[in-house]
A and B are shown apart, each in its own frame.
Chain A
Amino acid sequence: MSTRERVLGVDRRRLLGREVPLPPRGVRRATSVVGFFVFWWAAVEYSFLDFGLFVGPIETLLAIYGYLLGDPVAGGDQSLYVHAVYSTYRVVAGVSIAALLAIPLGLLIGTSTRAGAGIEWNNYLSPAVESLRPIPPVAWVPASILLFPVVPVVGFPVNTAVLFVVFIGAFFPILVNTIEGVRDLDDEFRRAAQSLGAGDRQIFRHVIFPAALPSILTGVSLGIGLGWITVVAAEIVAGNYGLGYITFQAYRLLQTDIIAVGMVVIGALGYASSAVVQRIADRATPWSDIETT
C-alpha cells in the first residue's frame, strides 16, 4: 500500500492538491516500455547523435519476425535459432559446470571455517579464491582463447574458451554465496539438531544444506546473469556461432537490424533464464523469499 502510494516521498494520489486516480495496473506497467520505444523511434527519426545510422523499433520488429521464420543471419547460412541455441547451451553448460564445482567447494570451505571442524580448508583455498575473484570475468577472454582449443564432441565443435569464460563468470558468485549461506547459519540450529540426536551427516543433510540452499540458488541466479554477460563478450571475440558473434558480425557488415535483433534476443533469453531459475528456486525453497537478481 504505502510503497504504491508514496514514491520518493511524494503521495502520488495527491498531485497539486488534487486527488489523482491511479491508472490501471496494465497501463502503469506498459508506460515505461512504450516510452522507451517512443524514445528509440524519435532518436532514429530525428538523428539524435548518431542514431540516424541505426535501425528503428518498427524495422527491428519486422526483422525479428523474418528471422523468427528462419532467415539466415549475418551473412552466414545459419538461422537465428542456431545461434540462440549455441549461446544458451554455452550459458547452461558453463553455469552447470561452475555450480557442480563451486557448490561442493563452497560447502567444504563454509563448514570448515568453524573452530574445531577438522581440516580448515578455508585457510588453504581462500587465498587463491580471493586473488582470482576480483578479475572481471570478461578479462579472462584473451587468455582463454589462447589456453582453450575448439574440440569436437560427438561431431559438434565445442569452443572450450567460451565455455571457460562463462564458467569463470558464474563460478565465483556461486562459490561466495554458498560459503556465506553456510556461515550465516546460526550455530544453535546445529546444536538443536545434535540434541535431537542427529549425527554429522544428518546435520549436513537436514540442517546445513537446506539452510544454505536459498543462498546457493541466489548464487546460481547471479551466475546465470553473469553467464549471459560473459557468453556475449566471449562470442564477440571467439567463435563462429552464437548471439554475441552475430551481433558483432552484423556491426562489421553494418546490418544494424541484426545488431538490434541480437540485443533483443539476448535480453529476452536472459530474462527467461532468470525467470526459470526463480521458478525453480521458489519450488525448491518454499520457506524462503529469496532474491534472485
Chain B
Amino acid sequence: MSEQESDADARIGSRLQETDGHEELRDGHRNGDGEHGERARATGETLVEIDDLTKIYDPDGAHVTAVENLDLDIGDNEFVTVLGPSGCGKSTLMECIAGYLEPTDGEVLVNGDPVTGPDPSRGVVFQSNRLFPWKTIGQNARFGPQMRNAVDDDRIRELLDETGLSGFEDSYPHELSGGMQQRAELVRLLANDPDIMLMDEPFSGLDAMTKELMQEMLLDIWEEEDRTVLFITHDVAEAIFLADRVVVMTARPGQIKDVIDVDIDRPRDSSVLTSEAFNEYQERASELIHDEAERAMEQKQQETQEG
C-alpha cells in the first residue's frame, strides 16, 4: 500500500512542477495503473480543456475576480472533483463550462470546440434541487428528450427503477423526500444522456446518511455508463471518495492549488472511507484546503465590514 502511495505522491509532485504540462499529467495518470483493477475507464483523451480562464464580475464597479488564469484538462470518462472553500469561484468555473457565463479571458473547449452557451451534452445538477415543481417526476424525467421529441420510455422506466423511484412518476417533487428529489434530478439528467455531468455541490443539502447513499449511487451509475463528471464540493471526504482526481482550489481569486490523484480501487463503496489510504488522502487534502478556507473566511469578513 505504502508503495502505491509514494508512487502516487511522486506523480503529484511532478504535476506540481508542471503547472501547464497537461499532456504529461494525462499520460502519467493513465498508464501503469493496471494493477489497480478497473480503476478508471478513462480513454486518455481530453474532453474538457480549460485554458487560462479568468472570470471577473463587475457589478456596479465592484470588480471581483472569481477565477484567475485557471488551466485544467478533464479527461474523457474521468471523475474529477473540485474542492475549495466557499466563495472560491468553483461555481463560477462550473458555470463557465456549462455555458451560463462568458469567460472574461481565456476559453473553455469541449471536444475541441469553444463553449458558446448551454448544451444538452453538458448536463448540470445544482446545489438546490431544481426539478420543475410544476411537473411530475415522470414529466421531469422526460423533459430533456421531450425537447427533442425523442422520449425513450423504456430508458426512463429503467432509470426510475434503478433509483428506486418507480411508482412515483405521478408525484410532484414537493411530495418526495430530499434524497428522492435528488435522485429524480439525477434521473432527469441521465435521461438526457449528457457526455459530461456538471454537479455543483448537489448533495450538500442532504443529511449524512442520505448523502453517503447518494454518493454510492452516483458512483454506481458512473461505473455503468461512459460519462465524465465534474463534481464541485467543499466536503473533503466526498471529494476523495468520488474522484479519480481532486482539484484543490485556492481562495479567491480562484486558482488551482494542487491536484491529488486518488489511487483507490474501483468500484468503491463506503468501506473505503475507513481505509488507511483514504485517511492519508483526506489528511493531505484537509491540510491543503485549511489555509485557503481561512483566507476565504477573512475575505468574507472584510467584505461584510466594507459593505
Real binding pair:
yes
Taking beta carbons and an 8 Å cutoff, which residues of A are in contact with B? 186, 188-189, 191-199, 202, 206-207, 210-211, 213, 285-288
- Quick check: is B90 within 8 A (CB to CB) of the other chain? no
B188 at the interface (CB under 8 A from A): yes
Contact of A196 among B100, B120, B128, B173 (CB under 8 A): B120
Q: Cβ of B147 and Cβ of A197 under 8 Å apart? A: yes
- B133 in contact with A196 (CB, 8 Å): no
- In the assembled complex, 20 residue pairs joining A and B whose CB atoms fall closer than 8 Å, in A order, are A188-B130, A191-B98, A191-B124, A192-B124, A192-B126, A192-B132, A193-B143, A194-B99, A194-B100, A194-B117, A195-B118, A195-B124, A196-B123, A196-B144, A196-B147, A196-B188, A197-B144, A198-B143, A198-B147, A287-B174
Q: Shortest 10 CB-CB distances between A and B: which pairs?
A: A197-B120, A194-B118, A196-B144, A210-B134, A197-B147, A192-B130, A195-B124, A287-B172, A195-B118, A198-B147
B171-185 CB mask vs A (1 if < 8 Å, else 0) is 011100000000000
Q: Which residues of B lie under 8 Å from residue A202 when comparing CB positions?
A: 147
Kindly state the separation between the CA atoms of A202 and B146 in the bound complex, as whole angstroms.
10
Contacts of A211 in B (CB 8 A): 134
A206 to B131, CA, bound (A): 12
Taking CB atoms and an 8 Å cut-off, the chain B residues in 181-198 that contact chain A are 188-189, 192
Confirm or deny: B148 has a beta carbon within 8 angstroms of a beta carbon on chain A: yes
Given the complex of chains A and B, what is the CA–CA distance between A197 and B117 in angstroms? 11
Partner of A213, one of B118, B134, B173, B189: B134
Q: How far is the CA of A199 from the CA of B120 in the complex (A)?
A: 11
Which of A188, A196, A210 is B192 in contact with, Cβ under 8 Å? A196
A202, B123: Cα distance in complex, Å: 17
Which residues on the B side are within 8 Å of A207 (C-beta)? 132
Indicate if B15 sits at the interface (CB-CB under 8 A).
Answer: no
Which of these, A188, A193, A198, A287, contacts B133 with CB under 8 Å?
A287
Size range of the interface on B? Answer: 20 to 34
Known: A210-B132, A285-B134. A195 touches B147 (CB 8 A): no
User: Contacts A188-B126, A191-B98, A191-B124; is A197 near B192 (CB within 8 Å)?
Assistant: yes
Nearest CB of chain A from residue B188's CB, rounded to whole Å? 7
Q: How far is the CA of A195 from the CA of B188 in the complex (A)?
A: 11
A188 to B201, CA, bound (A): 14
- Residues of chain A lying within 8 A (CB to CB) of residue B148: 197
Q: Which residues of A contact B118 (CB under 8 A)?
A: 191, 194-195
> Once the chains bind, are B134 and A195 in contact (CB under 8 Å)?
no
A189 to B129, CA, bound (A): 10
Report the minimal beta-carbon distance from A193 to chain B, rounded to whole angstroms: 7
Nearest chain A CB to B25 CB, angstrom units: 28
Q: Which residue of B100, B132, B133, B173 contacts A206 across the interface (Cβ within 8 Å)?
A: B132
Question: For B119, what are the chain A residues with a Cβ–Cβ distance below 8 Å?
Answer: 195, 197
Q: Are the CB atoms of A199 and B124 closer together than 8 Å? A: no
Instruction: Give the docked Cα–Cα distance between A194 and B174 (Å).
Output: 22
- Interface presence of B122 (CB below 8 A): yes
The interface residues of chain B lying within 8 Å CB-to-CB of A288 are: 133-134
**What CA separation (Å) do A105 and B174 show in the bound complex?**
30
B127-157 CB mask vs A (1 if < 8 Å, else 0) is 0101011110000000110011000000000
| Complex: chain B residue closest to A187, CB-CB | B100
Residues in B whose Cβ lies below 8 Å from that of A188: 126, 128, 130
Known: A196-B192, A287-B133. 16 other contacts (CB 8 A): A188-B128, A188-B130, A191-B98, A192-B124, A192-B130, A192-B132, A193-B143, A194-B99, A194-B117, A195-B118, A195-B123, A197-B144, A197-B148, A213-B134, A286-B172, A288-B134
